[in-house]
Amino acid sequence: MVKLRLKRCGRKQRVVYRIVAIDVRSRREGRDLRKVGFYDPIKNQTYLNVPAILYFLEKGAQPTGTVHDILRKAGVFTELRLNQTQFT
């Protein structure tokens, strides 16, 4: 199973997270399938590769709680709903 999860980067006291698609059995710092964005909690910046995120969500990837909140604030789930209604 694939999860969309945060991967810690940066240095001490200056953390930046990458949003990655990763196998659920891997560690937090393990090998990821694909990098789909990043999140900087200090500057409150977010960059999302929305087509890649939508691809993984359509294939059944589950976001973690924090990633779910980030995606909801960015409006990714409304785009997912629009894509699903287009095809049905």
Question: Which CATH number do you get for residue 7?
Answer: 3.30.1320.10
pTM above 0.95, yes or no: no
Q: Is the pLDDT of residue 39 over 80?
A: yes
**Which structural domain range is residue 20 located in?**
1-84
Euclidean distance between CA atoms 22 and 18, whole angstroms: 11
Q: Is the pLDDT of residue 88 over 60?
A: no
Position 86 scores a pLDDT of 60
For residues 47-76, give the mean pLDDT.
91
Position 83 scores a pLDDT of 66
- What pLDDT, in 10s, does the model give residues 6-35? 999 999 999 999 999 999 888 777 788 999
Count structural domains, the chain.
1
